[in-house]
Amino acid sequence: MSDFTVATQAIGSRRQGNVKRIALRWLLYVLLCLFALYYLLPLFVMITTSLKSLEEIRTGSLVALPREITFDAWSTAWSSACTGIQCEGLRPFFWNSILIAVPAVVISTVLGALNGYVIAQWRFRGANMIFSLMLFGSFIPFQVVILPMARVLGMMGLAGTIPGLIFVHVVYGIGFTTLFFRNYYVTIPHELVKAAKVDGAGFFRIFWSIFLPLSLPIIVVTVIWQFTQIWNDFLFGISFSQAGTQPVTVALNNIVNSTTGVKAYNVDMAAAIIAALPTLLVYVVAGKYFIRGLTAGSVKG
C-alpha cells in the first residue's frame, strides 16, 4: 500500500517537471518571436510604406498594411526622384555603384589572393612585417585618410572619377583581402608547394593549378565582405565623387534630403530598399558559403 502511494507521488512529480519544462520552452519561443518581430518591424514598415500612396501614409497608421498596393513610389525612386537639381531617380547612381563595386571587388580579391599566397607559402625575409603592416592598414579609420587620399587622387588625375573611387576601395580593401587569403592559405601544408616545385611548376602555375581551385570558400567570403563594404560606403563616395560619379548611397542621401514641400516617405523607403537590395542578394545567394568559408579549416590532401 505504501509502495503504491510512493509510486503515484513519483508520477505526479514527474508530471509537474514536464509541465514546467514545457512552460519554459514556450516562454523561450515567445521571447524569441518577440525579438524577431522587433528586428523585423523596421523592414516591415519600410516595405509597407513603400507600397502605400502618400495619401494613405498621411491618413493611416504606420504599421497598418497598405489598403491599396501601388508601385508608383518604386518607379519614382528608380527613375524620377530628384537628387538635388537632377531628377533621374536612383538609376544612374545605381549603375555608378556597380561600375565602382564590381571592378574594385575583383581587383582587391585577386590582389589579396596573390598577397596571401606569397605571405603564407613563399616565406621571405620580412614577410611577417609586411603582413603586420597590411593588417594595421586595414584598421586605419576612413576619416584619417580622406585628406591625403584626396591629394593623391588629385596628383594622379583621378579626382572625382569612377576609376579614382575604384582605386580608393582597392587600396583600402587589400589589407582585408590579404588577411583573409593569408589565413586560409596558411592552413595548406607547405609540402604541397614543395611537391609542385619538384614537379616543375613555377610561382603562378602553382597558384593557378593548386591554390586557386582550393579557394572557392574564401573567395566567396572575400567577395561578400568587399562587395558589402564598397556598396555600402558613403564617406569615400561623398568625398571623392562629383556630380556624375556619385554612388547610390550618396544619391539615396540626396533623395531623402532634397525633397521640397511634402516629404515622400514612400519614395524614400523604396529608394532605401533598392539601394540595399544588391548586398541582400549577395548574402542570400552566397551566404551559405560565407559561413562555410569562415569556418573552413585545414585542407586535408
Partner 1 sequence: MTPILDVKNLYKNYGSVEVLKDINVSIDPGDFLVLVGPSGCGKSTLLNCIAGLEPITGGAISIDGRDMTDVSPKDRDIAMVFQSYALYPTMSVAKNITFGMKVRGVDAQTQKTKLADVAQQLQIEPLLNRRPGQLSGGQRQRVAMGRALVRDPKLFLFDEPLSNLDAKLRVEMRTEIKRLHHDLGASMVYVTHDQIEAMTLASKIVVMKGGVIQQMGTPSQIYNRPENLFVADFMGSPAMNLIPAKAVKNGKGMRIEIERPEGGPLILNDAANPDLPENVILGLRPEDIAEAGFRAGKQVQTAHCLVEIVEPAGADTYVMSDLGGKKVTARFHAETKAEPGATLEFAFDLGKVSYFAPNTGQRLN
Instruction: List residues binding partner 1 (CB under 8 A).
Output: 189, 191-192, 194-201, 205, 209-210, 213-214, 299-301
Closest C-alpha among 70, 55, 59 to residue 270: 70
Strand ranges, E, within the chain: none
Looking at the Cβ atoms of 110 and 201, the one nearer to partner 1 is 201
Burial label, 133 (beta-carbon count in 10 A; 0-12, 13-18, 19+): exposed
Shortest Cβ distance from residue 299 to partner 1 (Å)? 5
Distance between CA 280 and CA 125 in Å, rounded? 42
Shortest Cβ distance from residue 217 to partner 1 (Å)? 12
Looking at the Cβ atoms of 45 and 195, the one nearer to partner 1 is 195
Collapsing DSSP states into helix, strand and coil, what is residue 271?
A: helix
Looking at the Cβ atoms of 171 and 214, the one nearer to partner 1 is 214
Number of H helices, E strands in the chain: 13, 0
Shortest Cβ distance from residue 118 to partner 1 (Å)? 17
Collapsing DSSP states into helix, strand and coil, what is residue 146?
A: helix
Q: Contacts for 59-66 with beta carbons within 8 Å, 24 or more apart?
A: none
Shortest Cβ distance from residue 288 to partner 1 (Å)? 20
Looking at the Cβ atoms of 99 and 201, the one nearer to partner 1 is 201
Distance between CA 282 and CA 294 in Å, rounded? 16
Q: Which three cell numbers stand for residue 57?
A: 501614409
Looking at the Cβ atoms of 26 and 204, the one nearer to partner 1 is 204
Q: Which three cell numbers stand for residue 293?
A: 568559408
Shortest Cβ distance from residue 297 to partner 1 (Å)? 13
Looking at the Cβ atoms of 106 and 192, the one nearer to partner 1 is 192
Looking at the Cβ atoms of 108 and 121, the one nearer to partner 1 is 121
Looking at the Cβ atoms of 159 and 196, the one nearer to partner 1 is 196
Question: What 8-state DSSP symbol labels residue 300?
Answer: P
Shortest Cβ distance from residue 195 to partner 1 (Å)? 4
Distances (CA, A) of 239 to 36, 146, 150, 256: 37, 7, 8, 18
Distances (CA, A) of 244 to 31, 77, 93, 239: 48, 18, 8, 13
Distance between CA 228 and CA 249 in Å, rounded? 12
Shortest Cβ distance from residue 190 to partner 1 (Å)? 9
Shortest Cβ distance from residue 212 to partner 1 (Å)? 9
Cell 516617405: give the residue: 265
Distance between CA 246 and CA 236 in Å, rounded? 10
